Each structure stands twice: as C-alpha cells, then as structure tokens.
Amino acid sequence: MTDDIAHHYRQIIGQLGEDPDREGLRDTPQRAAKAMQFLNAGYHQSLEGIVNGAVFESQTDEMVLVKDIELYSMCEHHLLPFIGKCHVAYLPNGKVLGLSKFARIVDMYARRMQIQENLTRQIAEAVQQVTSARGVAVVVEARHLCMMMRGVEKQNSSMTSSVMLGDFRENQATRQEFLTLVS
Ligand SMILES: [Zn+2]
C-alpha cells in the first residue's frame, strides 16, 4: 500500500515540473506516502477500540469540560491541513469517560479527510454514544491552510463550528455556562 501511494507521489512530483530523481527528492515519495497514511490513520480505528473500556461509574452530574485539545486535520476539498483546537463538554449521566480518551477520539476523526463541520459533529456524537451523557457540547476553532496559502489568502481568518446535543441544545443556561467557560 505504501509503495502504491509512493508511486503516485513520484508521478505527481514529475507532473508538477520537478525531477523526482534529484537527490533531495529521491526518498520523498516514500516519506510522503507514510506521512499521508499517518494523517489518515483514523480510517483504521474504531470508537470501541479507542475507548477500550475506559468508561467509569460516577455520581457526578456537573459539567465536565476538556479544553484546548490540539487538533490537526486535513480538508477533504484540497487535502491541505486545518489546525486548531477543540473544546469538549458533557453532562454525565452516571458514567464518565477517561480523560485521555477525549484527545484520542478527536484524533481518530481528525485523521481523516474532513470538513470542519462534520468533524465537530462526529466528535460530539462519539462522546454522546460512549457516555450516554445528558448533553454534549463541542466547539472547534481552526485555521485552514487552503484558505491561508492559496486563493484569497486571508491569513488571519479562523473558523469556529459548534455542535450542541441534549441539555446543551435545550437549556439556554447550560449552553451559556459552557460558552462562557470556553471563550
Ligand atoms: Zn480546503
């Protein structure tokens, strides 16, 4: 598989006007293929495998918030990165999820070809599914290289997307509490 992808990268490098055989580029197809496979590793992971039983009984019913989770993904329109951070909150309903699992859930969906809106929703629904929470809120703030490096070159613009499920959707005060904590 890596060799197949490397073969195509070699062709792309040539078609872009470079010499794929010059010294600096000789191993580039192979390296690029491995990098791209790593950045798309999320296709070979499952929510169940990632959570791996790290859901624990708890009586807490206060909001749990995990802020500033680093996020690196790739836009499905240009195959260029978008980079930012993600905030995840939930209202436990008898169960809590191990802290490290939030970052792993974010990575699993981020390491795929994505648009930010879908990524945000997938993270929220995954947390909902695993915890059976009374509500889940996810905010993603990201800068898109496809916007910064090409075309309009709006270098300072970032995009914010959010998904609110359950109580965060239905209860204004709960939603406001969350938004105040992450702003
Ligand atoms: Zn794009």
Dist CA 105 CA 89 (whole Å): 13
Distances (CA, A) of 69 to 7, 40, 77: 35, 19, 24
Respond yes or no: is residue 146 known to be catalytic.
Answer: yes
Q: Are 61 and 96 in contact (CB under 8 A)?
A: no
Q: Which of 48, 76, 117, 170 is catalytic?
A: 76
> 54-57: which pairs have CB atoms within 8 A and are 24 or more residues apart?
54/97, 54/98, 54/100, 54/101, 55/95, 55/96, 55/97, 55/98, 55/130, 55/131, 56/95, 56/96, 56/97, 56/98, 57/94, 57/95
Q: Which of 8, 11, 77, 117 is catalytic?
A: 77
DSSP letter (8 states) at residue 24: G
Respond yes or no: is residue 7 known to be catalytic.
Answer: no
Output the CA angle 46-163-76, nearest 5 degrees. 60
Q: How many angstroms is it from 101 CA to the middle of ligand 1?
A: 28
Going residue by residue through the chain (183 aa), what tens digit of pLDDT does each one get?
999 999 999 999 999 999 999 999 999 999 999 999 999 999 999 999 999 999 999 999 899 999 999 999 999 999 999 999 999 999 999 999 999 999 999 999 999 999 999 999 999 999 999 999 999 999 999 999 998 888 666 667 889 999 999 999 999 999 999 999 998
Residue 183 one-letter amino acid? S
Give pLDDT, residue 156: 72
Give pLDDT, residue 106: 98
Q: Are 159 and 144 in contact (CB under 8 A)?
A: yes
